Amino acid sequence: MSTAAQDAPEYAIDIRGLRKVYAAQGGEPEKEALKGVDLAIPHGSIFGLLGPNGAGKSTLINILAGLVNKTSGSVRIWGFDQDANPRMSRASIGVVPQELHLDPFFTPREAMEIQAGLYGVKSGDRRTESLLTALGLGDKMDVGARALSGGMKRRLLIGKALAHSPPVLILDEPTAGVDIDLRRQLWDYVRKLNESGVTIILTTHYLEEAEEMCDRIAIINHGTVIANEPKTALLDRLDRKTVTIVPITSLTTVPNTLATQAGIQTAITTDGALAITYSRREASLGTLLELTHSAGIEIRDVTTSEAGLERVFLDLVAEAK
């Protein structure tokens, strides 16, 4: 399948009004996992799909992969409607699952050949050896899958997802349990894929991965897309940091020099420490410590914390109400 730009639709994936309701089971009420999701992913992008556990990411991915039937709404993959043209829709996407599911009795070469055959790729058009070599498995092609390390199995899953040359690739937590060196290798390969025209959808719990890799990021929570912005715009909203200054003598009020400082939020904690939340682009820790010192506060200890994804999710949900 061609991934050339001239053949590409405006959106690699175009989702409109997507709902998924799981029927009541075992005394549990029905669950609406997706609540009218609208999501348009531009072709040629590296798109981050973030969200806490249970947010609906897995349901969304499984619907795209054809593993779960949607309740309502429309899904188009590379311009092919999932209902009207399910075969081409499925052929246009490759999914690298989070779980390391591989048949231990097949070698990487055999696993790749079987995968390509399932998608009807002719023998002469298969890229088994070139893909495995590019993924660093050239010397492991004929080794039993059970002998592969976790990182090698992860790379083999990527190879299987690319066996039919799909223009869209979903990576579901691809670096879970992967060491730093292998993570870097995977990202280098993903960038090369993207440069060749493949649209990448990445799910991850690691904000730094999304920050490094993605052009655009969407956040889903409780089955609803609560943010969908260019990376730079979203990261501007995540640029908050909190420093907690523990004084030798407990405080009861915020010093005036800090209370009137623009661009920061201050509070006294229950144990008499001073908590300051600020934007790293508008203030620096050094400046805040100087202001604290000028207020006559003797510092015993200083700790810092950054907004994690869970905090960001809560903030964005609160904004959406």
| Residues 105, 137 within the same domain | yes
Whether residue 45 sits in one domain with residue 124:
yes
HSE-up of residue 113 (Cα within 13 Å, Cβ side): 10
Please report, for the domain that includes residue 188, its CATH number: 3.40.50.300
Check which CATH number belongs to the domain holding 298 and give it. Answer: 3.30.70
- Give me the pLDDT at residue 101, please: 83
291 sits in the region (left: phi over 0; alpha: psi -120 to 50; else beta) called alpha
Of 97, 31, 102, 18, give the one whose Cα is nearest residue 65: 97
Looking at residue 313, its pLDDT comes to 57
Q: Terminal CA-to-CA distance of the chain, rounded, Å?
A: 43
Note the pLDDT of residue 3: 42
Residues 304 and 180 in one domain: no
CA atoms lying within 13 Å on the CB side of residue 238: 23
Instruction: Clarify whether residues 123 and 260 are in a common domain.
Output: no
Q: Give yes or no: residues 128 and 182 share one domain.
A: yes
Beta bridge partners of 46: 200
Backbone angles phi, psi at 84, to 5 degrees: -80, -30
| Domain, as residue range, for 119 | 5-230
> Same structural domain for residues 125 and 265?
no
* Pair 209, 262 in one domain: no
pLDDT score, position 118: 94
The total domain count for the chain is 2
For the chain of 321 residues, list the mean pLDDT of each consecutive stretch of 10. 58 97 88 96 95 89 95 97 95 92 91 95 94 92 89 91 96 79 85 95 82 90 91 72 91 89 88 89 84 91 72 61 56
Q: Which of 180, 208, 230 is the last residue of a domain?
A: 230
> pLDDT value at position 67?
93
